Amino acid sequence: MNGSDNGWKYTFSELLKLGIEPSTLLTWGISIEQ
């Protein structure tokens, strides 16, 4: 399941490691999704 749509999920994991708040992650997810 490697595709452009799933590409942002890798960033999601990286952000979690960085310690960014979930709210920021949701904002990024929505921005990328649109």
User: Per-residue pLDDT tens for 1-34?
Assistant: 455 555 666 677 777 777 766 677 677 776 666 5
Per-residue pLDDT at 26: 73
pTM for the full predicted model: 0.28
Per-residue pLDDT at 9: 67
Q: Which residue has the tokens 């904002």?
A: 27
Per-residue pLDDT at 33: 61
Enclosing H/E stretch for 34: none
Per-residue pLDDT at 18: 76
Which residue range forms the structural domain that includes residue 9? 4-33
Specify the number of domains making up the chain: 1
Rg of the chain's alpha carbons, rounded to an integer? 10
**Amino acid, single-letter form, for residue 31:** S
Q: Residue 28 CB: number of other CB atoms within 10 A?
A: 15
Per-residue pLDDT at 1: 46
